[in-house]
Structure 1
Amino acid sequence: MTQLSQLIDLAPDDSGSITSILLRLKIVASRIKATEIVQWVNKELEGYSNDDELPKYRAHRSFPARGLWANPVRTLDNAELSTMGLEDRVREALFGTSFRQPVKELEKFSEGEGAARISWDPQDITIYLSQVQMKMEYMELISAATHIPVGTFQGIISNIRSKVIDLALELESIDPELGETSIGTDMEEKVNQVVQNFTFNVYGTGNNIGAGKEFTQNLTVKVNDVSSLITAAGKLGLTEEELQELQDAILDEPQKQGTKVTRFIERVKTGVVGLGLNVSAEVAASQITQLINAYYGAG
């Protein structure tokens, strides 16, 4: 039985470890010189860093949050929390998350019962109470947590299995023996096309974060030169209003990045501020961060 046929047989079986399946795929990808597939497998096994573009199935999404309200007279537990009045960045941060953990951790969550909880720290609660319009009158919010249904984790694992099956079937259609040994140059073009299609299906774009870095490297920003920073940011697709917001933040924090510049980057990352390019919000934030780092002399 070939490596590909084993993958195709094992991947649909929910009782089989997704880690083992990915390791088998890594062997095949290495032998056929599919570097992008090897990198994807490694990130799934080891987890994604904050600078990595996430696959669509791991991207940020919103979830409900529940809290414990109390006063000296009574307690109200597991009450759903309102988002009315929250700034976009606060709502995105407290009522949602992306999934950067190693796949083994996600698999453990997928086998649990009920919902996983991301507890808020006291600062989160303070920020929430300072903005939200609907509160429990005469009661204090003691604790809170974002609730992620177990089905969310099961969906991510299922998506990964499906991606592996689709890839293995595509490779098998080229040659059932692919992955048994290294390939020759005559096969590379066909394999590369399959790999490009796979990357598009995983990330939703033909350009991952690497392409974003290459694009940014073509833009010139001089240290402590606001004009060059704003010109470069404009080429990324920021509107006049957004460029003015960035300029005001930089002028208020000319020597060192502070809360205003950080808040602007966060707004890009959550999609509130968008670039006129076909890239994800996380890639957009990475590109803007590189320009700002260059301005501060840290790039």
Structure 2
Amino acid sequence: MSILREIQAAILQDNPNLGTILLKLRFLASRLGSEPLEDWVKYEAEGYPKDADIPGYRVARLSFRGSWSGPFGSGINNAPIPTALVEKHASKEWTRYKIRESIATVQEMAAREQSMGIDASNLILLLQGKVYEDYACNSIVAEMSSIAIREIVQTVRARILELTIELEKRVPETVEITLQQVISSKMPETAATVTQIFNQTVYGNVTHVTATDGAQVTLAITAGNTVSMVSELAKAGLPDEAAKEITSIVAAEGPPTADRTLGPKALGWIKKNAPKAASGAWKIGSAVATDLLKEAALKYYGLK
């Protein structure tokens, strides 16, 4: 049986072992030459390091409860704290917990069917006097719903299945891969197609670029679609004419090689127009514009 068929058979079982399935998917990804897919599988299997981006399905909402002591021995125990209040006096980061543990650990957490407590002791100082006036905050506990944990498991399971279905449709040679049999020629076009399928099924084909001020510029570009690239670059701050020019150049030059992200004409265009970005004529800085255009090109080529 091929590796793809083994993955599909295992993922359709009741309570599948996602850790084992991901190991097989990682082997398949290496055979297909898709580094983004390999990275995702590795992070899901081993856990996400602190410097790695977390997929949206691994961000869970938290609820908060606390205890307070007041005058004359009065007190309030185990009372809910509105999340809006936490976001106002702390930040939204406090209400959106990033679950970085391996999928095997997440499955174990989901099997307990209990809400998970998270240390929120640092919130005591941030919310002191902000919830109940004249009451001293003694403790705060954050909780994550067991449903949110189970949703992560279900999402990973569904996306693995969807990924294998799309691979079977669009890269038929994938079905032939076994431990002994590999694709006769690992073409760059195959790796690009696999990466495009991965982006569409797992991340929804959306890329974020971080600006110098920490703001996020979102690119939702469909591979091979010049209209979507022009539209997204214009939304990001490029003038319409400039967005059309660079899109035409990127489309004409074709996918990058191993030693460059953009072709010589695209790089020349960026160098020529950098002063416009630096002068403020564009709504985006020159340093960010370069990263933005590289990301846009990779999205257009289906490589990210």
CA deviation vs aligned residue, 1:53-81 (integer Å, no higher than 9, x gap): 222212x4432211122346344332111
Distance 2:12 2:286 in 1: 42
2:185 counterpart residue number = 185
Is the CA contact 2:57–2:152 (under 8 Å) kept in the aligned structure 1?
yes
Distance 1:148 1:85 in 2: 17
TM-score with structure 2 setting the length: 0.62
1:8 counterpart residue number = 8
Distance 1:155 1:40 in 2: 18
Identical pairs, percent: 22
Question: Is 1:235 equivalent to 2:288 in the alignment?
Answer: no
2:160 counterpart residue number = 164
Is the CA contact 1:196–1:206 (under 8 Å) kept in the aligned structure 2?
no
* Structure 1 position 126, deviation (Å): 0.8
1:117 counterpart residue number = 117
**RMSD after superposition:** 3.9
1:251 counterpart residue number = none
Distance 1:2 1:93 in 2: 43
Which residue, out of 128, 148, 152, partners 1:152? 148
Amino acid at match of 1:177: E
Q: How does 1:79-94 map to 2 (within 5 A)?
A: 79-84=79-84, 88=88, 90-94=90-94
2:201 counterpart residue number = 201
1:254 counterpart residue number = none
Distance 1:36 1:14 in 2: 28
* Structure 1 position 25, deviation (Å): 0.8
Change (3 A) 1:237 1:186: closer
Unaligned runs of 5+ in 1: 220-227, 239-275, 280-299
Change (3 A) 1:236 1:129: farther
1:46 counterpart residue number = 46
DSSP-derived class of the 2:73 partner: coil
Amino acid at match of 2:126: I
DSSP-derived class of the 2:128 partner: helix
Amino acid at match of 2:114: G
Amino acid at match of 1:63: L
Change (3 A) 1:207 1:83: closer
DSSP-derived class of the 2:15 partner: coil
Q: How does 1:201-280 map to 2 (within 5 A)?
A: 201-205=201-205, 207=207, 234-235=284-285
Is the CA contact 1:12–1:162 (under 8 Å) kept in the aligned structure 2?
no
Distance 2:41 2:186 in 1: 25
2:139 counterpart residue number = 143
Is the CA contact 1:4–1:168 (under 8 Å) kept in the aligned structure 2?
yes
* Structure 1 position 186, deviation (Å): 6.9
Aligned pair count reads 227
1:36 counterpart residue number = 36
* Structure 1 position 206, deviation (Å): 5.1
CA deviation vs aligned residue, 1:141-178 (integer Å, no higher than 9, x gap): 21112211011111111111111111222223313213
Unaligned runs of 5+ in 2: 211-218, 220-260, 271-277, 296-304
Amino acid at match of 2:150: Q
Distance 2:16 2:81 in 1: 38
CA deviation vs aligned residue, 1:187-207 (integer Å, no higher than 9, x gap): 652453132121233233354
Change (3 A) 1:127 1:208: closer
DSSP-derived class of the 1:42 partner: helix
2:248 counterpart residue number = none
* Structure 1 position 234, deviation (Å): 4.6
2:21 counterpart residue number = 21
Distance 2:158 2:12 in 1: 8
* Structure 1 position 91, deviation (Å): 3.3
DSSP-derived class of the 1:183 partner: coil
1:65 counterpart residue number = 64
TM-score with structure 1 setting the length: 0.62
Distance 1:179 1:147 in 2: 44
The more displaced of 160-169 and 187-196 is 187-196
Amino acid at match of 1:102: S
Amino acid at match of 1:155: E
